Amino acid sequence: MIALLALTKISCILLATIGLHITATPPHPPPAKSDQAPSTSWEVIVKYRGGPVMVKFICWLAAFAEISLIVTQVFGYQSLLTSVLDPLGIQLRVKPVEQPFESGSSSLNLYLSPMFLLGACLAAIGGYIRHCCYQALGCMFTFEMAIMKEHKLVTTGPYAWARHPAYTGVLCTVSGIVMLHCASGSSLIEYKVLESALGKGLSIIYLVLTSIITIGLLKRIPKEDEALAKRFGQEWKVWSQRVPFKLFWGIY
């Protein structure tokens, strides 16, 4: 039972982190300057590709930490992990496990809280939405705002439900990752990893980067609508009337 629970948690962590990885990985190189469209003052930050790289690094590091804590708790290898994390200022508050697979052991903090599961689902769904957007737009999808010469107005797939679903995916993923790692039952919370100097520092960097990028993307929405309306005219107008929602179908 404990092994199954641990495997479920590890699977959730991996799915969520893979979703984040997809979300933060550009499917194509930057467009030519001649194809780039006017955007907001936030564009200089949003299009900087070092930000998503750092976000991915932090999330994979957090996933590795979570999974390592689960494995060491289940198999009783705390001394090995402690010898690695102590120099980093992370003090694990883990009791030794005499019988690692004994069901109901009070030292095993492997329960699945609703917030943990919701966070994992949100991050995974967000990554899937982004993947569908990459597939629907093909070479026209770039992290930079661009209207290419061969650009076509895509109204199928996720774009049949919202006009900017790729940003919906970003919102789902970055918020899901926070919920996953900050939920009760999360190893990073249960064992106070986020209270260490390293944990606090990486958390702040993640929150600052994702907040700036997300705000920049949301501010870009009116500019994208304006550029598409100018390029496609009546075709865009018909589509915008059929799909009035920017991010969430039926809501906004």
Q: Residue 228 domain-assigned? A: yes
What is the model's pLDDT at position 144?
A: 85
What is the model's pLDDT at position 191?
A: 74
**What mean pLDDT, rounded, does the chain reach?**
85
Q: Residue 197 domain-assigned? A: yes
pTM score, whole prediction: 0.86
**Number of independent structural domains in the chain:** 1
Range of the domain at 18: 2-27+39-96+113-145+154-242
Q: Residue 134 domain-assigned? A: yes
What is the model's pLDDT at position 197?
A: 85
Q: Residue 101 domain-assigned? A: no
pLDDT tens by residue, 129-171: 999 999 999 999 998 888 888 889 999 999 999 999 999 999 9
What is the model's pLDDT at position 80?
A: 65
What is the model's pLDDT at position 91?
A: 61
What is the mean pLDDT, run by run of 10 residues, along the chain of 252 residues? 85 97 94 78 78 95 88 73 63 48 46 92 98 95 86 94 96 96 84 82 94 92 92 94 93 84
Helix axes of 165-182 and 114-137: crossing angle, nearest 10 degrees: 150
